[in-house]
Amino acid sequence: MTTKTNFPLPRGLNALLLGLLAVFVLCAAPLVFAEGDPSSDPRLAGNRWGGGYFPNVELKTHTGETVKFFDDLIKDKVVVINFIYTECPDACPLETARLTEVYEILGDRVGDDVFFYSISIDPETDTPEVLAEYAKRYQTGPGWLFLTGVSEEIELLRRKLGLYIDEVNKDPTDHNLSMIIGNQRTGRWMKRSPFENPYILANEIGTWLHNYKNKNKNQNLNSYDGHIPELRTLTQGESIFRTRCAACHNIGQGDGLKRTGPNLLEVTERREMDWLRRWIAEPDVMIKEEDPTAIALLHANNMIVMPNMGLNEHEVTTVIGYLQAESRRVSKMESVEALMAQKDAEVPECCQKTESAVIDEGMDTDDSGKQEVSLAVIDLPSLPEPGEMENNAITTNSPRSMSLFFGCAFGFLAFVVHRRKV
């Protein structure tokens, strides 16, 4: 009779074997499901936000090309997407102006590893030709497409991107002002305000969405260079200017980025105050009334319409106060910088002093008998060194010095003889 003896495995060993089996399954799963395509790796968040989620609808670019939203525009790319319409009187011009600043900061990376898309929510009006004119007006470049399509399909895109809100979008032209930035491959998507600081937006697009693999070559957005700026309290006027005006206007040199609107340095001195107050409050009305100055500004600034910001009287007053104060500050700074530059400037060769030359003015007479002033440069002997000057002085003035010495001696002797007699 044979007896079998069972030796149960220790609990610790059982747990170890189960753990090894779990690790094996997790490691083998990508190889089983990937089928040679890394983008189908279930560990990538982009798999969730892939072609199965985004509609692959057809759109027309402002250059007349037909593209598919997922395949051609966003697949495996870092993108910036906003929705606009060209006849928008207020928010859309500000959005586009702000994005032109972000575009400039990112530089040649746009069209290389970052792509901008502005999609019209009014495709009936915004044909490719209209969008091309709009792009030209804002002087956009490669890597930034303006797109149009079918209204229903564009609404579907807005919903999928989380930029359509039923309560807000009852009026077709009233749209969500947020834009979305994202990396389709990694599945990282973020809503952002287009009125954010352009350097912050550029940093998020150029570094965060690339998992900090790429640093911007045009601007150092990742370091303060050891100089941490001091935060200060903004006045209401400055706050309004920064959030609603700075996308289109500088005061003086500013941050060096190009703007779509005119420079406002000393604008309170260049314009009548009543006109300026009304222009800030209701520029659209003044353009409709064909105010001569308003029309001239429109033509001078590439036909970009100044939006109505809906400011009340008090807000207009605070903005004007800020324009006055900032203009004074910037003017003083520019004056000081100009003086410093003049001080440090090299003197042209023609204007340099020459110690070995003087101007000799003489009178010449020409054949007609008229006298002319002639200027001649006469070379002078070079100045001696300080030691040589002392020796020369002693040598040249020695006879006079000897006379003075003997005169003093005789005078002193006569004084002594006189005292003895007394």
From the candidate CATH numbers 3.40.30.10, 1.20.200.10, 3.40.50.300, 3.40.640.10, the one assigned to the domain spanning 58-210: 3.40.30.10
| pLDDT (0 to 100) of residue 40 | 45
| pLDDT (0 to 100) of residue 63 | 95
| pLDDT (0 to 100) of residue 211 | 77
Helices (H), 1-146: 11-34, 91-106, 128-137
| pLDDT (0 to 100) of residue 18 | 59
| pLDDT (0 to 100) of residue 191 | 92
Ranges of residues in the chain with a pLDDT under 70 are: 1-49, 167-175, 212-229, 231, 343-422
Strand order in the sheet with 188-192: 66-68, 58-61, 144-148, 115-120, 78-84, 179-183, 188-192
Q: For residues 262 and 331, give the distance between their C-alpha atoms in angstroms, rounded to a whole number.
A: 17
Amino acid at residue number 15: A
| pLDDT (0 to 100) of residue 396 | 46
Residue spans of the domains in the chain: they are: 58-210, 236-339
Strands 66-68 vs 58-61: parallel, antiparallel or unpaired:
antiparallel
- CATH of segment(s) 236-339: 1.10.760.10
Q: For residues 15 and 191, give the distance between their C-alpha atoms in angstroms, rounded to a whole number.
A: 45
- How does 94-133 read in b/e, with b if 16+ C-beta sit within 10 Å? bbbbbbbbbbbbbeebbeebbbbbbbbbbbeebbbebbee
